[in-house]
Amino acid sequence: MTQSSAEVFDLGYQHYEGPREGRMRARKALWTNGVRTALGLGRSTRAKILPLLLFAAVMTPAVVFVLIASVASDLGVSEEVPGPADYYRIVSILLLLFSAIIAPELLCPDRRDRVLHLYLVRPLTSDDYVAGRWLAFFTITLALVYSGQIVLFVGSAIAASQPMDYLRDNWLDAPRFLAAGLAVAAFTTTIPLAVSAFTTRRAFAAGFVIGLFIISQVTGGILTECDHEQDSSADESCEPLTGDLAKWFGLINVTGAPIYVSDLIFDEENGEQPYKSVAEHPKAIPIAWYLILTVAPGAVLLWRYRRISV
């Protein structure tokens, strides 16, 4: 028998004596990593292009609306100019399309690289993982919609001939756009993440979500389209082709769910189809439909990751 030549070296390893922050520190780290991943921080320049384009896309309508308000004020035009509700009608569609591309970055790579269980060996549960990723993307989306609304609100006040009068007459827009922004951001965050939980391919998740939004919007528009041959008057008074069923077919348009809620918060009517048809319902129905389309995918997302972690 040969004698072993193994040796033991004292490299000075010591026990960690610092503060042990536990589960909350792990949650915070997961949230921070999610924010950085979605924004492309710490990655290549190409990864930062899409978030920058998203920021430019959601800020452009706000700047344009402020310019319109400024020109109207200089010309003394008393006609109504686009406001916070109009901003959300435009931005919600942009957010849905961009979120379909960005959201899979938070979930798909971890499962494709098989590192999910490495997160769970720390004091984290699958619910913590999902909540951290969801909150990271929700934070970004909420910051985007709020930044645009703040620019619109402050810019409109400055552009007004009497800024203090504008603030006194429109101060309720602030709590309204805060509440509507929460509704838009929660909806925009949940569906793309729920879809991403079922594939490791980011392109598949993005394609499915974009297809869902486009197909539902086109289908809802067709089924609630006005019958111009029957009634040649203005669009506001024409009858839909599907008659009384149009108010139900309008709900097929998934992208309209946060807009319904936003319009209710701002107490404004949307004259476009299928939003006009859906407005014929009692207020509780569009709100309930929004909650179904937001809560149900969130529950599916939690269920999916609880099964993966088993």
pLDDT tens-digit readout, 176-193? 999 999 999 999 999 999
Give the total number of structural domains in the chain.
1
246 assigned to some structural domain: yes
247: CB partners within 8 A, 6+ apart: 277, 278, 280, 281
CB atoms inside a 10 Å sphere around CB 200: 16
Answer whether 259's CB lies under 8 Å from 270's CB.
Answer: yes
pLDDT tens string 61-77: 888 888 887 777 666 65
- Is residue 59 a contact partner of residue 147, using CB atoms and an 8 Å limit? yes
Residue 3 lies inside a defined structural domain of this protein = no
Residue 11 in any domain: the answer is no
Angstrom CA distances, 40 to 48, 51, 92, 269, stand at 5, 7, 22, 38
Contact present, 261 and 183 (Cβ < 8 Å)? yes
Reply yes or no on whether the pLDDT at 159 is more than 90.
Answer: no
Confidence of residue 234 (pLDDT cuts 50, 70, 90): very low
In angstroms, the Cα distances linking 94 to 87, 98, 101, 150, 222 are 11, 6, 11, 18, 21
Asked if residue 285 is part of any domain, the answer here is yes
Considering the chain, what is the average pLDDT of its residues? 84
Does 8 reside within a domain?
no
Q: What is the mean pLDDT of residues 243-262?
A: 87
Query: Is residue 19 in some structural domain?
Result: no
pTM here is 0.85
Annotate 135-192 with DSSP letters as a single string: HHHHHHHHHHHHHHHHHHHHHHHHHSSSHHHHHHHHTTHHHHHHHHHHHHHHHHHHHH
Q: Which two tokens stand for residue 221?
A: 């528009």
- The answer to whether position 98 is within a domain reads yes
> What single DSSP character describes residue 251?
G
Q: Which domain holds residue 257?
A: 24-203+212-309
Per-residue pLDDT of 89-148, as tens digits, reads: 888 888 888 899 999 999 998 888 888 888 887 778 889 999 999 999 999 999 998 998
Q: Is residue 6 a part of any domain in this protein? A: no
